[in-house]
Every structure is written in structure tokens, then in C-alpha cells.
Amino acid sequence: MSEQLAKTTDDGGRLARLWVVVGGGVVLASEALPTPRLLQDFVYSVMSVSVIVAIVIGVRRYRPRARAAWIVMAVGQTLWVLADTTFNWQQDVGHVTTFPTVSDAFYLLGYPVFAIALGLLVKERSRARSELGPMMDSATVTAGLSLLSWVVLARPTIESMHHSVDAAAVAAAYPAMDILLIAGLVRLVSSPGGRSPAFPTCSPPSCC
């Protein structure tokens, strides 16, 4: 039984690495080659959808203990696929130049969903283990990035969009949400525990 589980896990690791290499190569090729922008966006959207498919298949096949975390992550990825699709349609077909749009709603909704997924993964990995070290690491990184984000990104953005309160609020929300996800990733990576084959590919940046 243990040999079969090890073989299944090893196969899953190879499939995950193959997906990263092939998928990354396809996206890079579509961006580097002189292809129409609409085709580039289509390739990117297909790869984003493949992330959802991979998560669902992985959950059904391997039945991880943190099953809820991966399901929530698939929901977050779905929101970002909707955001990318609507944004690309507005840019490539509708030629919409206004900000914010419905795409921003999907993007910003996806952030807290991913944060919840990371929190569930941390909870599963941190059972019966010391929490002080990882919590301090996460708090330190979050505090430093918050200050840097305010000085470099949020404050200049708000000042440049003083003509529109809605646009300023939405623009400032992006770096704040990025910090939220980075804090969750630091908390996850710094937590002691084993690494599954999917661990290197579970971060939201790799899913978008």
C-alpha cells in the first residue's frame, strides 16, 4: 500500500513539473513570437483554466487532507479567470479605457479567497507545531511591505487619482491585497512540515 502511494505521489510530482514546463513554455512562446494580442490573451486564459482543472483532478485523485483549501483555491482561480477574460474582452474587443471596471471586482474578490485558501493550508500544516516563529516571520514581512507599499505605491496612486474616489480606492486596494497574499505565503512557507509535489505550484502568483 505504501509503495503504491509513493508511486502515485511520484507520478503526481512528474506531472506537476511537466505542466509547469509545458505551460510556461507555451505562454512564453505566445508572448515572444509575433502573434496577435487576441491569441496571446486566449493562450493565457486557457492556461489559467488548466490550473482549475489540475486542482480539481488533483483533489479527486489524491484526496489531500487540506481538501477544502484546494477547493477554495480553485474558486479563487476561477474568479481570476473571469477577471482576465472580461479584462481581455474589454481591451481587445470593446476597447474600454475606463477604470475601474467589472474586471477589477473579480480580481479583488479573488484575493481574499486565495488568502482563505492559504490560511487553511497553514492550519493543516501547523497542527501540533510551534507557531511563534512563523507568525513573527509573517508579521515582520507584512509590516515592512505595508510601509513600503504605502510610500511607493498606495499614496502616489491615491494622489494621482484625486479626481475619482472610486478609482483611487480600487487602485490602492491592489497593493494592499498583494501584501495580504505575500504574508500568507510567508506564513505557509515558514511553517514546518512536509512538501507535497504540488507545493511549489500552489502559490497564487503561479496560478494567474
Domain count of the fold of the chain: 1
Closest by CA position to 126, among listed 185, 205, 190: 190
Query: Is residue 19 one of the residues assigned to a domain?
Result: yes
Query: Is residue 34 one of the residues assigned to a domain?
Result: yes
Predicted confidence (pLDDT) per residue in 19-76, tens digit: 788 888 888 888 888 888 888 888 889 999 999 998 998 899 888 888 999 999 999 9
The CA distance from 94 to 140, in Å, is 43
- pLDDT for the residue 32: 85
154 pLDDT tier (thresholds 50, 70, 90): low
pLDDT exceeds 90 at position 128:
no
For 52, 102, 148, the CA distances from 106, given in Å and listed in that order, are: 16, 7, 26
Residue 118, domain extent: 2-129+191-207
Q: What is the mean pLDDT of the chain?
A: 78
Query: Is residue 161 one of the residues assigned to a domain?
Result: no
Distance, C-alpha 76 to centroid of its chain: 8
Q: What are the cell numbers at 17?
A: 513539473
Higher pLDDT, 160 or 6: 160
pLDDT exceeds 60 at position 192:
yes
Predicted confidence (pLDDT) per residue in 104-118, tens digit: 999 999 999 999 999
Query: Is residue 177 one of the residues assigned to a domain?
Result: no
Query: Is residue 72 one of the residues assigned to a domain?
Result: yes
- pLDDT for the residue 34: 86
* Predicted structure pTM score: 0.78
- pLDDT for the residue 70: 93
Higher pLDDT, 168 or 153: 168
Query: Is residue 143 one of the residues assigned to a domain?
Result: no
- pLDDT for the residue 169: 85
HEC sequence for the chain: CHHHHHHHHHHHHHHHHHHHHHHHHHHHHHHHCCCCHHHHHHHHHHHHHHHHHHHHHHHHHHCCCCHHHHHHHHHHHHHHHHHHHHHHHHHHHHCCCCCCCHHHHHHHHHHHHHHHHHHHHHHHHCCCCCCHHHHHHHHHHHHHHHHHHHHHHHHHHHHHCCCCHHHHHHHHHHHHHHHHHHHHHHHHHHCCCCCCCCHHHCCHHHHC
Query: Is residue 164 one of the residues assigned to a domain?
Result: no
Query: Is residue 125 one of the residues assigned to a domain?
Result: yes
- pLDDT for the residue 171: 85
